[in-house]
Structure 1
Amino acid sequence: MSAATLALRDSSTMLRRNLLHARRYPSLTLNLLLTPIMLLLLFVYIFGNTMSAGIGGAGRPAYLAYVVPGLLLMTIGSTVIGTAVSVSNDMTEGIIARFRTMAIHRPSILIGHVVGSVLQSVASVVLVGAVAVAIGFRTHATALGWLAAFGLLVLFATALTWIAVGMGLVSPNAEAASNNAMPLILLPLLSSAFTPLHSMPGWFQPIAEYQPFTPAIETLRGLLLGGAIGHNGWLAVGWCAGLTVLGWFWSTSTFDRDPE
């Protein structure tokens, strides 16, 4: 059996293992998924009319269209927190030590977590998107726009997942992993997800504009609603690529340093 075939087989096995864990213990994923859904309902039905003043006072339907792209990316941030917890559990409960004694492709352990997390993130985004459509969200995206939006969501999920894997590897327990990964769900609150950049204090606008979530949110918003994307598309792809590479090097180097 060639090395590539062995790697593919072992990665597929680890992927099935992680998907089975997610199916058997859905409470963590469900709890993390409820956060963006509750925020969607809260900001639309409680704050929608008031918050719409920041986008020209167009009312609740316009604010729903504005806020959904940010919440879709926030959903990814919520989902990958579960990945950090899962990786930390594997490291602290001894299963990784057992895997190390087996004749398997070692990177497949991390690859299984990453691919499984990306699939869960996409499923979570679809569910939140379905809730948004049910309460009135509409898009005029073309087929190419939908394809680009899906690609961006997958890229962003991959980037955040590798960062979450690194956080899980360096955390001493599941509670610490959950706390370490909290910025992945808090950063959208400091972006253009809920309010436009121009309505923020001047000193804070550069911080909000050039953090990872804002370019991705503005790109997704433009793709789904037909607005201008400008330089945000390149910034979003650049952040995704940079975070993926950083997370991959961090995760693999940390994993390889772990004692046999």
Structure 2
Amino acid sequence: MTTSTASTASTAPAAPGRVLPSGPLARVRWAVADSWTVTRRYLIHWVREPSYVVWGLMYPMVSVLLFGYVFGSAMVVPGGGDYREFLLPGLFGMTMMFGIGNTMMGVTTDADKGITDRFRAMPMARSAVVVGRSTADMINSVMDLVILILCGLIVGWRAHGTAGETLAAVGLLLLLRFAFIWVGIYLGLRAKNAETAGNFYALLFPLTMISNAFVAPEMMPGWLGAAAAWNPLSSTVAAIRELFGNPGLGGDSWIAQNALLMAVAWPLAIVALFLPLSVRRYRRARR
């Protein structure tokens, strides 16, 4: 974390003489206020260092140019259709999943610089750090998604569904991102340093590539296609293609035929597993 990041920690909750609230409602207000303070800290850091956001968008933008224009003429979409309209929903989903790395590195860097220990020593709600981190990442993800959709419109992608279906597709993308935020927080708390976090980050490439983001699973070898079809990313991408009215629908497997159901079920299962793990890990962490 840079010096500017450390300085923004001064926006963290109140000083050590703070009186802890009593009563359930007062504690909820206390937790919400502290969580928003931590959220503001991350947002201020991103405003001061916009390169964080810019570099996060470089990979999907380069992928649009590389796969959409360089390799696009050689790609075949099952059932026919424009490959760029097939590709963009996959890139939307990949960007949401790659957010794991940003969350994980942010959490690990805070721990390395002693910011997490400082928060833990202050009279603040125990949940504020992880909730504040997840809220800031969701705000950042909304901005990323808006920029990517605008880029998609520029290169010729269109959403052919109704306004309600388009909003539902955006909601599914943000639900996927919310689920993987908690994976990133947990892995960031588990990582001993930034190098270890970088090793976790490398695993994102096979996890995102073995999916239906670039190629339909039915065009892969049998075993690989089955693994790609059951990837949570594939369910979200297939569901939003259906809602956006983009090409690439198909597949006879159960998972392919129930993409909308699984686009909700996968993220909820991930949240149910990793949210309590993240909170427990933060409470027990001793760095």
Partner letter of residue 122 of structure 2?
A: M
Which residue number corresponds to residue 252 of structure 2?
Answer: none
Preserved CA contact (<8 Å) 1:80 1:121:
no
Which residue number corresponds to residue 55 of structure 1?
Answer: 78
Q: What TM-score do you get using the length of structure 1 for normalisation?
A: 0.92
Give 1:99 deviation, angstroms. 1.3
Give 1:184 deviation, angstroms. 3.5
Preserved CA contact (<8 Å) 2:159 2:166:
no
Preserved CA contact (<8 Å) 2:110 2:116:
yes
Preserved CA contact (<8 Å) 1:49 1:57:
no
Q: What TM-score do you get using the length of structure 2 for normalisation?
A: 0.84
Which residue number corresponds to residue 38 of structure 2?
Answer: 14
* Aligned residue pairs, count: 256
Which residue number corresponds to residue 241 of structure 1?
Answer: 268
More helix by share: 1
Which residue number corresponds to residue 76 of structure 1?
Answer: 96
Kindly report which structure 2 residues correspond to 1:109-120, keeping only aligned pairs within 5 A, or say none: 109-120=129-140
Q: Secondary structure at the match of 1:77?
A: helix
Give 1:80 deviation, angstroms. 3.3
1:224 matched to 2:244? The reply is yes
Preserved CA contact (<8 Å) 1:70 1:192:
yes
1:192 matched to 2:212? The reply is yes
Kindly report which structure 2 residues correspond to 1:15-34, keeping only aligned pairs within 5 A, or say none: 15-34=39-58
1:5 matched to 2:29? The reply is yes
Give 1:103 deviation, angstroms. 1.0
Preserved CA contact (<8 Å) 2:107 2:185:
yes
Give 1:55 deviation, angstroms. 3.1
1:39 matched to 2:59? The reply is no
Deviations 1:136-169 (A, max 9, x none): 1112121210221121012111001110111111
Unaligned runs of 5+ in 1: none
Unaligned runs of 5+ in 2: 1-20, 250-255
Give 1:79 deviation, angstroms. 3.0
Give 1:25 deviation, angstroms. 2.3
| RMSD (CA atoms) | 1.8
1:100 matched to 2:120? The reply is yes
Which residue number corresponds to residue 172 of structure 1?
Answer: 192
Which residue number corresponds to residue 277 of structure 2?
Answer: 250
